Amino acid sequence: MATPLIIAQQILSAITNSAGDSLLSVSQTNATTNGTSAVSVPTPTAMPTDLASLLTFLFSFSALRDWFKLIVIGSVFETARRLVFHFYYKLINSIFITARFQEDDNSYSWMMIWLSKQPAWTEARDVEISTHSFGLSDYEDREGLEGEDEPMSLASGGRKVAFLPSISSTYTIWYKNRWMRVTRTEKQTGYYGKAEETLEICILAWDRRVLNQLLLEAKKEYMSAKEQSISIYVSDVSNNWRHVASRPKRPLHSIVLDPGIKDLLIDDATDFLQSKNWYSVRGIPFRRGYLLYGAPGSGKTSIIHSLAGELGLDVYVISLSRAGLDDNALSGLISELPQKCIALMEDIDAAFTQTLNRDEEPTPPVPGGPPAPPSSKISLSGLLNALDGVGAQEGRILFATTNKYSSLDPALCRPGRMDIHIEFKLASKYQAAELYRRFYMPDAEEESEKGSVDSGYASISDEKEKDLIALDDTSSEASEPSTPAKTSPPPLEVPVFIGGSHRFRAPKLSREQIDDFATQFSEAIPEREFSMASLQGYLMMYKIRPADAAKEAGEWVARERADKAAKLAALEAAESKKAAAKQQVASKPQEIPAPAEVKVEKTAESS
Ligand X SMILES: Nc1ncnc2c1ncn2[C@@H]1O[C@H](COP(=O)(O)OP(=O)(O)OP(=O)(O)O)[C@@H](O)[C@H]1O
Binding site for ligand X (CB under 6 A): 255-257, 296-302, 401, 403, 424, 435, 532-533, 536
The residue sitting closest to ligand X, measured at its beta carbon, is: 299
Nearer residue to ligand X within complex by CB, 311 or 533: 533
Nearer residue to ligand X within complex by CB, 317 or 469: 317
Instruction: Assign 247 to helix, strand or coil.
Output: strand
Nearest to 399 by CA among 354, 357, 347: 347
The pair phi, psi for residue 413, each rounded to 5°, is -95, -5
Nearer residue to ligand X within complex by CB, 310 or 472: 310
In angstroms, give the least distance from the CB of 302 to ligand X: 3
User: Cα dist. 510→126, 233, 486, 521 in Å?
Assistant: 57, 42, 21, 16
- For residues 531 and 296, give the distance between their C-alpha atoms in angstroms, rounded to a whole number: 7
In angstroms, give the least distance from the CB of 254 to ligand X: 6
In angstroms, give the least distance from the CB of 317 to ligand X: 12
- For residues 540 and 546, give the distance between their C-alpha atoms in angstroms, rounded to a whole number: 10
Nearer residue to ligand X within complex by CB, 251 or 391: 251
Nearer residue to ligand X within complex by CB, 4 or 296: 296
Nearer residue to ligand X within complex by CB, 235 or 302: 302
In angstroms, give the least distance from the CB of 491 to ligand X: 24
Report the b/e string of 220-256 with b at 16+ CB within 10 A. eebeebbeebbbbbbbeeebebebeebeebbebeebb
- For residues 138 and 247, give the distance between their C-alpha atoms in angstroms, rounded to a whole number: 9
The H or E element spanning position 202 is strand 195-204
User: Cα dist. 225→211, 219, 248, 254 in Å?
Assistant: 21, 10, 11, 22
DSSP 452: -
Nearer residue to ligand X within complex by CB, 152 or 550: 550
Nearer residue to ligand X within complex by CB, 107 or 403: 403
DSSP calls for 368-388: TSPPPPPPPB--HHHHHHHHH
In angstroms, give the least distance from the CB of 126 to ligand X: 45
Nearer residue to ligand X within complex by CB, 295 or 453: 295
Nearer residue to ligand X within complex by CB, 320 or 435: 435
In angstroms, give the least distance from the CB of 350 to ligand X: 10
In angstroms, give the least distance from the CB of 249 to ligand X: 14
Classify residue 423 as exposed, middle or buried by CB count within 10 Å of its CB (0-12, 13-18, 19+): middle
Helix axes 327-335, 380-388, angle to 10 degrees: 20
Q: Would you give the distance in Å from CA 337 to the centre of its chain?
A: 12
End-to-end CA distance of the chain: 88
Nearest to 384 by CA among 454, 457, 334: 334
DSSP calls for 126-182: SEEEE---TT-GGGGG-TT---TTSGGGG-GGGPPPEEEEPBT-EEEEEETTEEEEE
